[in-house]
Structure 1
Amino acid sequence: MADAVLCADGPVRSLVELSLVGEHRRGHGSLYSALSTGRVDVSRLRRALAAVPLPRAADGRLVLAADITCWLRPDAHTSPERILCHTYGRGKDQHIPVPGWPYSVICALETGRSSWTAPLDALRLAPGDDGATVTARQMRELIERLIEAGQWRQGDLDILVMVDAGYDVPRLAFLLKDLPVQVLAGCARTVSCAGPHRRANRTPWAARRVTAASSSSATRPPGAHPMPRPRLGPDFTARPPHRHGTGSTRG
């Protein structure tokens, strides 16, 4: 079957077409028998993905993005461990929970306008799982595989871990505090950064939050008092969202 996939003329649109390739040399029934008795070595696949060349940021560091994506299965009543997943845009001003399987997916990102990502790990959440705990354990195992594969060495820039604002960022950073990572979280208008910055009168791994919308005059009604501009430290820069700028952080 592998020979048939490699030697087929054009894309494979259905499995049964592989039995027509000369390199297959067997009947189409053997193809489905192989799939029924075959298995995927998930641990080996994860190690192999960690060893391939990965996209990187402009400064050469690894950037890992984690998010939870739901596979909705409302009609699969016999499927085990379904969870009510929040959905958006399925009705006017409605967020309808739909039964499905939530997956925590981690991808490697690159600098630029490309939408290509490199999926490195996926893990299905079970009922009762805590998102921050599962993501921290999943991210720790992935980073250990990346270090073992030589993707990060002593002296390299810290790995940037990006999540959305729905995560417990300070707790996630605390759970990964012994790894060479910096945790960055944000949404369309708010960015918060939790990193290993130790300062006086500030606890380590404290989350710093900067709301870019507070500095935009477009968000204030006419005649309102000017809103205070956010205080930006020496290690963070941001621009108002209406200028479509970028946010950057450095240790």
Structure 2
Amino acid sequence: MATMYYPPYRPQSEQLLNDNDDQLPSQDALEKVLPEYSYIFVDPIPRIKPPGSLLKDANPQANSSDPSDQVVLQYQLGELQRYREAVHRMANDIIALRQHITELQSVNSGLKLQLAQFKDASRLIHDSADLDGLTKEEMVERYAAIKRKVVSQSADMETYRENIRQLKNLLIDKDEDIQKLSRDTLNKDSQMRVLAKLRETQAKSERYKNAIEQQEKVIEKLEKVLQKSSTSKISSEKGNERYEALQAENQRLKDQLHNYQVFK
């Protein structure tokens, strides 16, 4: 495939700029920017529209009666068409280069694969070089030794697997023991909470029992006082009020004692 050569970059944009922005670049502006650029793909048949058709497609005002305007417009359209063709050729070159890069990458991958296979083959050849000077009996003996080694390694592997299975089972048993211990701990905690609640209830019952005994003693004393007051003559209003107060206090203490007994 043909390749494309780009010369070292020499900035010439200052020389290509026009003083008037309305004017297009000169006809050889592309050759000045890329003086040594050669296109890879060149259309064998230039597809350039006739000036009349370009003029008709680009500007509907091309039918103007001024001949100088038609000449200028036709020249500008020709320049624009040449720029378009140049850009089209450059785009084709870029596409071709990308395809070439893809092909080179594919070839590179194949070469890397061949190199890896060559290294593997070289390693096998190097390993087999030790067998060149051996007799048939020696090769059979070495084969038997290798086979015994493979069998021994297989047995060791099976032993390792059995040990791993035993360790897994032991781990499962330990996990179950830990879960059982956790459940027992939770049950013990709940039992301790129930026991603490029972002890608190028992202490509260003892306090109520002591309070009941004290209330009973007070009630007995009040009843004795009330009996003495009822046997004696109540001559004054003050004594009558005292009797009613003692009787009310006695009734209150009896009600409180009844409540304690019910709670107990």
| TM-score range normalised by the length of the shorter chain | under 0.3
TM-score calculated relative to the size of structure 2? 0.15
Q: Which has the higher helix share?
A: 2
Larger Rg: 2
TM-score (norm 1): 0.15
| Structure with a larger share of its residues in strand | 1
